[in-house]
């Protein structure tokens, strides 16, 4: 199981990771945590690493030494991880093309602070797009994160914090 979060903004918009987030992460016991950027504090990564190995990318307000994007494979599912601010637009077409460019089955992105999950077929390939939203500073949404069961068709479960 993989936990996915983004846009925590600890230090610039939030004082700390919410206790309900940490409790739920520990309860779900993920094998891996993916963070799609706007971390803003290295302590966030240290805290997440105490729960599970963590892969993170740099967001538009991050000054941490992190990559702009990552590609990993978990149980045969190729996952791309970006923040999303690099793209001209975060519409489904641009995101699907980015996923095809990265040669991934699932593209995880952040930046909007809103949950989003959908799939699209293009050029004979099905691509899944996921934004976990923000556990600390959601926009027109509820705070939370996502759990993924990596399979050919990934099973996505949204965890709302309150």
Task: Give the mean model confidence (pLDDT) for residues 70-96.
Answer: 92
Is pLDDT at 162 greater than 90 in this prediction?
no
pLDDT at 10 over 80: yes
Per-residue pLDDT band at 75 (split at 50, 70, 90): very high
Q: What is the CA radius of gyration of the chain?
A: 14
Torsion angle of alpha carbons 25, 29, 34, 39, nearest 10°?
A: 30
| pLDDT higher than 80, residue 82 | yes
Mean pLDDT of the chain: 94
Asked whether 12 and 61 are in contact (CB, 8 A), the reply is yes
pLDDT at 149 over 90: yes
Q: Domains of the chain by range and CATH?
A: 2-160 (3.60.21.10)
Positive or negative, the CA dihedral 52, 55, 61, 65 is positive
85-117 pLDDT per residue, tens:
988 788 898 999 999 999 999 999 999 999 999
What is the chain written as a DSSP string? -EEEE----BTTTBSS--HHHHHHHHHH--SEEEE-S----HHHHHHHHHHS-EEE---TT--SS--SEEEEEETTEEEEEE-STTSS--SHHHHHHHHHHHT-SEEE--SS-SEEEEEEEETTEEEEEEEE--SSS-SSS--EEEEEE-SSS-EEEEEE--
């Amino acid at each position: 199981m993989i936990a996915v979060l983004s846009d925590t903004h600890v230090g610039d918009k939030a004082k700390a990771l919410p206790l309900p987030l940490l409790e739920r992460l520990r309860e779900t016991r993920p094998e891996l945590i993916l963070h799609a950027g706007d971390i803003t504090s290295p302590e966030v990564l240290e805290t997440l690493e105490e729960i599970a190995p963590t892969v993170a990318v740099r967001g538009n307000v991050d000054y941490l030494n992190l990559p702009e994007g990552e590609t990993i494979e978990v149980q045969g599912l190729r996952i791309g991880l970006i923040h999303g601010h690099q793209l001209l637009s975060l519409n489904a077409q641009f995101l699907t093309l980015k996923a095809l460019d990265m040669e991934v089955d699932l593209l995880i992105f952040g930046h909007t602070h809103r949950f989003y999950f959908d799939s699209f077929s293009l050029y004979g390939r099905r691509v899944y797009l996921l934004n976990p939203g923000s556990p600390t500073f959601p926009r027109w949404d509820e705070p939370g994160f996502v759990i993924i069961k990596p399979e050919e068709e990934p099973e996505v479960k949204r965890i709302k914090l309150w």
